[in-house]
Every structure is written in structure tokens, then in C-alpha cells.
Structure 1
Amino acid sequence: MFSRLFQRPRRERTIAALYGAIVAQSRLPVFFSERGVPDTLEGRFESVCLHAWLVMRRLAMGGTATAEFNQALFDFMFADLDFNLRELGAGDMKVGDKVKDLASHYYGRVGAYDAGMAAKDDSSVLESALDRNLYGSTLPDPAHVKVMADYTRRQLAHLETFPIDRLLSGELEFAST
């Protein structure tokens, strides 16, 4: 009985630590100052989505053993987005709908990024997905999009070798930017 009382808060702390590492990586100044990602609320959301997808894709490789943890990470991410929207002053009645929209957008990105990774012989698919999503309504320099596509592939290759048990304990290391 006591183990259940202490297990949940520990798991929540672990998920919070993992999500914190995702957010920290997504907010590195290099993305905004050197790679053209818009330094706006939308650009920051897109950067978090990209990095969350990288980690959640790795967790998904663990199959059913990591599915619940992966879902809890997703839920934590959107609870944080809900909190942040409220902190920014969004009306309570609209926050729920906005978070649902953001979740829908996230799933769209997952599909686009997964398709980009599946098209191994055609780098334009991932670059197009990044252009549409990470860069949003801006007109990015094609060189920036290419650098971010290379970065994304490098991160996925690194995370594919990163031990899942370390992710499940809240540890995360990205490859160099």
C-alpha cells in the first residue's frame, strides 16, 4: 500500500524531468538565432513538438512496456501547454478547445515527421514537413530547413541507441546540435 502512495509522485517527477529536458533542448538559442526557427509562441510550440516527437518515437520502440509511460509524457506535455495558455491569459472557456486543437496539430506533425523519416531516399519529404510545421507561416532559408532535417535525423539515430531504461528514469541526452 505504501509503495503505491510513493510510486505515483516519483513517476510524475520522472516524467516532469524528462519533459523538462525536452523543453530545454527545444529552447536552445541556436534554433532561433542561427537556424531560423521563429522565436514566437508558435515557433516555440513547434520546437517542443519536434523534440517531444523525437523522444516519444524512441519510447514507442519499447512497445507495450513503454506505452503507458509514453502516454503519460504526452498527457504531461499537454497539461503543461494548458497551464501556460492560462498563464498567458487565455480565457478559461477557450483553453480546452485550444489545447484540443494543439493536440490535433501535434498528431499531424507526428504523421508528417514519420513520413519524412520513412522516405529515406527522399530528404525533401522531411524537409517539407519541417518547412510546413517547424517554420510555420514564415519563409525559411532552405539552408536552415536542410540543417534542421539533418539535425532531426542525427537526433533520431542517437536516440535509437539511447537506453530506454534511462528515459524511463527521466534521463535524456540529445546528440550535439
Structure 2
Amino acid sequence: MAVNKLFGNDAAEAAGVTGERAELLAMLAQQRSFLRLTTKDLSDEQARLRPTASELCLGGLIKHVTSVERHWIGFILEGPSAMGDVTDMTQEDLAKRADEFRLLPDETLAGVLADYAEVARRTDELVATVPDLNASQPLPKAPWFEPGAQWSVRRVVMHICTETAQHSGHADIIRETLDGSKSMG
């Protein structure tokens, strides 16, 4: 319960979830908290800046992690069709994907953080209530997935945690480069 309080994960507590599900939700809440912390007190313009050699910006990282989480939850509920066909992407699809890593002029940091919070709420609800963490779906066809592989709900949630943690590290470097702030240390 202490981790839930520290990182604002009320999903497990509210649903009376314990054990493995509570642990998964606590880990996910912790990683989300670290990522959100990198945007604290920033303006929209600062969230758009790309101060490193990378194309990444803080607002874009929030958008990307939100999209990834949304797609993987769709995968749990609907199977591989929720992920789309990456083997036949058009130029328009590629442009949309690139925009996922940018905070566009008509977007605000507050808006992408609110979208992230809503996706997180839905994810937490699903993890708390899905009947079986072992339920699995075949992965969609993609060059980065082993052909014929399947992932369980548990594996998907662990992947979301990993993806969030990886991008939280990117975000920490970007924030430190912007103004010297650190989320840890």
C-alpha cells in the first residue's frame, strides 16, 4: 500500500486488488509517475523543445507512451487487429507515427497529460478486472515480433511498464538538458 500512496495508484486499492495485480499496478504507477514528473512546471513551448541530438521532446514522449499503452490495451481486448498492420504502412501512416513523437502547435502539455491519465485509468481498470492474466493473443505480424508468438495479459502489462520506464529515462535526459532539473538524484 505504501507504493500505491507514494505514486498515486489508487486503482488497486479502490478495486480491492491484491497480490500480483496490485504489484503490476504499483509498478506501472511508479513508472508513469517518473515520466509525468519530467514535465512538471514546463510550458507548452518547453515541452516541444528537442534539446538533444534526438528527435524526441517531452510532450511527444507523453503522446507516444499514451499511444503505446492504448494500443496494447486494445490488443488485450481485441487481439492483433487492434494494433494495425505495420507491414503495409502508407506515407500518411508514417507521418502520423512521426507526429506521435511531437507536441504539435495545436496541442498542449496539459491536454496530452490528461489523455495519458485517461488511458492510464482505463488500463488500471482492465488490469484490476480482467478475468485471467494468463489469457493470451497472437502477436500481430511485424518484423520485430517472433512469428507465431503469443503474449499474455501479464506480458503485455510488463511490456507497458518497460516501455514507460525506457521513455522515462529519455525524458529525464531531455529535462536535464532543458533546465538542469532531475527527476531522481
TM-score by length of 1: 0.35
Taking structure 2 as the reference length, the TM-score comes to 0.34
